[in-house]
A and B are shown apart, each in its own frame.
Chain A
Amino acid sequence: MTVQAAGALLLGAAGAAVLLGGHAVGGAFSGEIGPAVGVDPLSGAFLVVIGVVGAPACLFARGYLVPDRAGRAVGALTGPFLLALASVVVARDATTFLGGWELMTAIPAAAVLIARRQPAVRRTVFEYLAITHLGGVGVWLALLLAAEQGSLGGTSGPGGATRAALLALALVGFGTKAGLVPFHAWLPRTHPVAPAHLSALMSGVMTTVAVYGLVRTLRDWAGPPSEAAGLVLLALGAVSALGGALWAAVQRDLKRLLAFSTIENIGIVAAALGAWLVLAAHGENGWAAIALGAALLHAIVHAVAKGLLFLGAGALERAVGDLALDRLGGLLRRLPWSGGAMLAGLIALAGVPPLAGFVSEWLVLRSVLEVPLSGPLGPALAGALVLAALAAAAALGAYAAVAVAGLVLLGPPRRPECAEASEAAAPMRSALLALAGIVLALGAAPGVPVDVLADLAPGGLEGAGVAGLVVPGTGRLPALALAGALVAVALVARLLRGTPAPPAPVWVCGQARSPRLGWTAAGFTKPLRLTLDALLRPAREVEVIAAGGLVQEVRHRAEVPHPVEAYVYRPVARAALAAAEVARRIQSGSLRAYVAWLIGLVLALLVAVRLWGGA
């Protein structure tokens, strides 16, 4: 694992060198069939993400994996997974890209199957493979179409209907892997069952690599920026951000909550990409570049923070077992280092200053706000709606982050294991602290990466200096000064507080405090469920068992169903099964019948070629 961690670091360093150097290394994109690899600054940026999250994840796995057969196998698969991720990013032809893409899908599935042997997990992995492969068809078709049209080699851009098809296919294909609503159903099921370091890589890095595919297609392969694609991305992004944040807030399992929060953040990234396209289509190149920089910065911040939190969840899993939110608590006291690192990740996820999440969300909100400021009525109204959705999603993200911090790290321990948990082993702890350090650094000096990232937009960023986030058209966000001021005032206020008197019991209306009065995840998000019941449609069942006029027992069951699954996936799955039932009738088992089918097919194809394929 140490070797793998070092390798991941090297990958990241190579990516950083190319990104900062600004020159492409290795081959350029080609439409030929034959392996070609190369790195340009855009690939470099994503290599950095792979390295920065991959190295701590490998280090973490050293302490996390149990050294039995299954553990060793999962550990051995981690390196190839990182290489598959990197191969997608550095591929310079369609075959390498697609090969890497398939490996990237298959390896974590294999690792999950090795690590967990329950039937429910097998079912989940099947769903993951089914949905991502169906979506992956979009990637295949988009790539092959781009290669066929010559836009992969940069010789010519597609036009008309072909371009629209390419954009739509890429959106479905990469959107499925990134977890955009409504293609996200696999994500909240798969990420929680994987071993922690793979969850971190899947949620943090794999979704980001899907974003890479999207950016690459939109920037290089699909011709000039299209306003329609931008508006679609804005809409998908807003729905994903809002939906992901909303469902995250009502989850009761830590890893599932984190997975929904991934959907939220990928939605925010997609919305910023949409703003980029719309602004570029309107000729606002400066703001378009900033929007792209905002999208990439948010993707990076999310990758780091989510990697940190999934690794933290793994550390807690090793310390206390079950990760149901209502059965944790008080862990900051028992695991000060891991818990503190997780707190930093949660603050970043909540999008409050002074950490990285605030800066990237500010930049995304500001660049989305530029859409209604610049455009004619139609795009302006769409942009305003997306802006409102993103602001609401940011507040919901803060809600979920507070719930996690409170239920997991703070308050009284809610079960004996939590009261006796001990700090994670050194490799796990140091991986978490390294990621927390990156979150802090990105929050303090966001101008440096944004400056570099905004230069990746076509045409780059002319003249407008972003360093320190001095963006023209804003009141500036000198992140370091803001963070410094916040810390300084807080320290002074903390010192002024003086020495406190001995503690007194919490006020619970004069009763004795008992664990039964403690708050639960469901209780904390109750106002949210009540005010948004039109969207969430929570199901609630109360059963009162009375005997002889006396209530013996009250049973209560409440859950928030997942509407996309009920209304989108179930009908599709049912239709697929029905179609399979029809198709089965053709399978008579007779060889002669099959040969007849084949001959018929070939004849039909020949006729089709003769009739329409003349040119």
Chain B
Amino acid sequence: MSGAQAAAAAVQVAGGVALAPLVPGLVQSAKARLQGRRGASPLQPYRELRRLWRRTPVQPEGAGPVYRAAPAVVVAALAVCVAVVPVAGQAPPWGLGSDALALLGLLALARVALAVAAWDSGSGFALMGSARDLTFAVSGEALLALAVLVAALPAGTTDLAALGAAAAGAGVWGEPAHWCGALALGLVVLLETGRQPIDNPDTHLELTMVHEGPLLEYAGRDLALLQWAAAARHWVSLALAADLAVPHPVEAWPRLAVLAAAIPALCLVLAVVETWQAKLRLLVVPRLLWAGAGIALLGLVSWYAGSGA
């Protein structure tokens, strides 16, 4: 294992596990500044995790083993996601593969586990949020598959390490397909992180909540695990976006440096989008995602029409 590979693996694990809560913290604090508030420090998610970790979980009456197991399953799905998405184009050395389409299944596992737990507790708010989440997933999975396809066009593979390598350098930005793919990926990031205009992470109002709904009944360590998973989802999405849709050099060490700059920059972008965009009506969200899928298809057409490859 070369030095760069070891460093990338270390960043992948440390970033995904320890730095992940910093990502939503950064977005929230940047958003507060943009809106003229002082806001909490970017370290606030860590404080919340510490507070929740000290408390025992309380579970609703009548909930069974499925409800109890769900936070652990969600954490496992996201932890494996962290292990599968490489940083700086170095294929991770722990034998879990690094395939883009595997992410589809892992994210679906997290979603399904929470939805099944919602049925187990029978909580109306949890079911409402889960039903909405699953509805968005219909167009969301199609969008993610097409985004992967457009990213795979130059590489000819769905290996995330190779996809990142194919997106390196300046030449790829001359392809309209790459711009379309980046746009589609941006929508995927908004969906997976549950940010405005798709979902509002600050609200607990039942009329609008999506991702917060299934978390409503959880408390204590259960909630801490789920909040870590939400933060890891932010990290995975942004690491993916940084690898595929942010200009970066080919070599590993400079790429790590670019990543260190790109993640805070993408947090800022998310904060700007949140400040500038109101939340969409629930029923309009799938249309936005289908539009993203259409953009990805346009990218495919331009790839074949343009280069004749």
Interface residues of A (CB under 8 A from B): 332-333, 347, 350-353, 358, 361-362, 365-366, 369, 372-373, 376-377, 380-381, 384-385, 387-392, 394-396, 398-399, 401-402, 405-407, 410-412, 472-478, 481-482, 485-491, 493-494, 496-508, 513, 517-519, 523-528, 530-532
Q: Mark B38-75, 1 if CB is under 8 A from A, else 0.
A: 00000000000000000011111111101011011101
Partner pick for B76 among A380, A385, A489, A500, CB 8 A cutoff: A489
Chain A residues with CB under 8 A of B71:
493, 497
Chain B residues with CB under 8 A of A504:
58-61
- Say yes or no: is B149 at the interface (Cβ < 8 Å to chain A): yes
Q: Are A381 and B300 in contact (CB under 8 A)?
A: yes
Q: Mark B112-145, 1 if CB is under 8 A from A, else 0.
A: 1001101111111101001110110111111111
Given A395-B108, A474-B158, A507-B125, also A490-B300 (CB < 8 A) = no
Q: Chain B: which residue is nearest A407 at the CB level? A: B119
- Say yes or no: is B293 at the interface (Cβ < 8 Å to chain A): yes
Chain A residues with CB under 8 A of B216:
507
Q: Chain B: which residue is nearest A362 at the CB level? A: B101
Q: Are B138 and A506 in contact (CB under 8 A)?
A: no
The stretch of B77-85, B192-200, B248-256 in contact with A is B77-85
Chain A residues with CB under 8 A of B76:
485-490, 493
Chain A residues with CB under 8 A of B91:
475
Chain A residues with CB under 8 A of B142:
388-389, 391-392, 395
- Say yes or no: is B109 at the interface (Cβ < 8 Å to chain A): yes
How far, in angstroms, from A391 to B216 measured CA to CA in the complex? 29
Given A369-B148, A490-B75, also A473-B130 (CB < 8 A) = no
Given A365-B101, A503-B63, also A485-B96 (CB < 8 A) = yes
The list of the 3 closest CB pairs from A to B, nearest first, reads A406-B119, A475-B99, A476-B97
Q: Are B124 and A524 in contact (CB under 8 A)?
A: no
How far, in angstroms, from A531 to B116 measured CA to CA in the complex? 22
Q: Chain B: which residue is nearest A482 at the CB level? A: B96
Q: Closest Cβ of chain A: how far from B108's Cβ, in Å?
A: 5
The stretch of B27-35, B217-225, B233-241 in contact with A is B217-225
How far, in angstroms, from A399 to B138 measured CA to CA in the complex? 9
Chain A residues with CB under 8 A of B158:
366, 369, 473-475
Residues of chain B at interface, number, CB under 8 A? 91
- Say yes or no: is B301 at the interface (Cβ < 8 Å to chain A): yes
Main SS class of interface, A: helix
Q: A362-B102, A475-B160, A490-B69 are in contact. List 4 more A-B contacts (CB 8 A).
A: A333-B64, A369-B101, A486-B76, A500-B220
Given A388-B145, A402-B119, A501-B56, also A506-B217 (CB < 8 A) = yes
User: For B123, B127, B134, B216, which residue has the most chain A Cβ atoms within 10 angstroms?
Assistant: B134
Q: Are B130 and A402 in contact (CB under 8 A)?
A: yes
Q: Chain B: which residue is nearest A347 at the CB level? A: B112
How far, in angstroms, from A303 to B140 measured CA to CA in the complex? 28
How far, in angstroms, from A526 to B127 measured CA to CA in the complex? 11
Partner pick for B75 among A332, A407, A410, A489, CB 8 A cutoff: A489
Number of A-B contacts defined by CB within 8 Å = 278
Q: Closest Cβ of chain A: how far from B151's Cβ, in Å?
A: 11
Chain A residues with CB under 8 A of B123:
506-508
- Say yes or no: is B169 at the interface (Cβ < 8 Å to chain A): no
Q: Are B56 and A380 in contact (CB under 8 A)?
A: no
Q: Are A391 and B141 in contact (CB under 8 A)?
A: yes
Partner pick for B305 among A377, A474, A526, CB 8 A cutoff: A377
How far, in angstroms, from A350 to B64 measured CA to CA in the complex? 21
How far, in angstroms, from A362 to B225 measured CA to CA in the complex? 28
Chain B residues with CB under 8 A of A513:
122
Q: Are A391 and B104 in contact (CB under 8 A)?
A: yes
Q: Chain A: which residue is nearest B113 at the CB level? A: A352
Q: Are B60 and A506 in contact (CB under 8 A)?
A: yes
- Say yes or no: is B275 at the interface (Cβ < 8 Å to chain A): no
Chain B residues with CB under 8 A of A369:
101, 145, 148-149, 152, 158
Partner pick for B221 among A347, A405, A407, A498, CB 8 A cutoff: A498
Q: Are B56 and A500 in contact (CB under 8 A)?
A: yes
19 A-B contact pairs sorted by A residue (CB < 8 Å) = A365-B145, A381-B297, A387-B145, A387-B149, A389-B142, A394-B104, A395-B137, A407-B119, A411-B119, A473-B159, A485-B96, A489-B75, A494-B69, A497-B222, A500-B59, A503-B62, A503-B63, A507-B125, A528-B131
- Say yes or no: is B185 at the interface (Cβ < 8 Å to chain A): no
Q: Closest Cβ of chain B: how far from A212's Cβ, in Å?
A: 27
Q: Closest Cβ of chain A: how far from B19's Cβ, in Å?
A: 18
Q: Are A477 and B148 in contact (CB under 8 A)?
A: no
How far, in angstroms, from A123 to B112 measured CA to CA in the complex? 38
How far, in angstroms, from A577 to B11 measured CA to CA in the complex? 72
Q: Are A373 and B106 in contact (CB under 8 A)?
A: no
Chain B residues with CB under 8 A of A486:
73, 76-77, 80, 109
Chain B residues with CB under 8 A of A390:
145
Given A476-B97, A485-B96, also A498-B61 (CB < 8 A) = no
Given A475-B159, A500-B57, also A395-B140 (CB < 8 A) = yes
Q: Are B159 and A474 in contact (CB under 8 A)?
A: yes
Q: Are A476 and B101 in contact (CB under 8 A)?
A: no
Q: Are B99 and A388 in contact (CB under 8 A)?
A: no
How far, in angstroms, from A385 to B146 measured CA to CA in the complex? 9
Q: Are B297 and A474 in contact (CB under 8 A)?
A: no
Chain A residues with CB under 8 A of B222:
497
Q: Chain B: which residue is nearest A480 at the CB level? A: B95
Q: Closest Cβ of chain A: how far from B300's Cβ, in Å?
A: 5
Partner pick for A384 among B146, B160, B220, CB 8 A cutoff: B146
Chain A residues with CB under 8 A of B152:
369, 373
Given A353-B106, A392-B139, A500-B58, also A406-B116 (CB < 8 A) = yes
Q: Closest Cβ of chain A: how far from B95's Cβ, in Å?
A: 5
Given A352-B109, A353-B105, A362-B102, also A531-B159 (CB < 8 A) = no
